[in-house]
Amino acid sequence: MEKIGFGGSCHWCTEAIFLSLKGVTTVEQGWVASSADPSRFSEAVLVEFDPQIIPMKILIAVHLHTHSSTSDHSMRDKYRSAVYTMDREQQAQAVGMVQDSQQDFEAPLITEVLRLGSFKLNTPEYLNYYFADPDKPFCRNVVNPKLQQLLKDFSAVVNLDKLAHLR
């Protein structure tokens, strides 16, 4: 198993996206700070995955395509567009993968590749937010469209049983 972090949009959305993928075993949702800036926390998830089932390259592609990875909007302090890596080797691989993905986008990617510094887990009532009750208004109005896009663009790596209610 390997671990990697992702931030870019609401951690409830990001958690639901990565929990919907084959080969992802756990998703921890909360706030992440990089090792370079340990006091700057933003919403993010830590994803544990089996690289034999879903390679890191696919996880990064899913991440880049499921949030505003080219938009430097006013909420970037809260929703930092980033890939958080566990070591130098993973960081070098992720940098290359993000650079290679630029060809999929018209605008420049703003997604940073950073070393993980600290992680603060969200409180229990907000964990597994989407799958605990997908009928909540936020889930229907904000998370569902992202999951429908995930199904459209990445159906080969989606656990279709988890998203059967959307098909």
Q: Tally the domains of the chain.
A: 1
CB-based contact 72:43 (threshold 8 Å): no
Residue 69's CATH number? 3.30.1060.10
Task: Note the pLDDT of residue 74.
Answer: 79
**Neighbour tally for 157: CB within 10 Å:** 19
- The domain in which residue 62 lies consists of 2-166
pLDDT in tens, 96-144: 999 999 999 999 999 999 999 999 999 999 999 999 999 999 999 999 9
On whether the pTM is more than 0.75, the answer is yes
CB-based contact 156:73 (threshold 8 Å): no
Distance CA 95, CA 15 (A): 22
Which residues does residue 113 pair with via DSSP β-bridges, in sequence order?
A: 83
pLDDT in tens, 23-49: 999 999 999 999 888 888 999 999 999
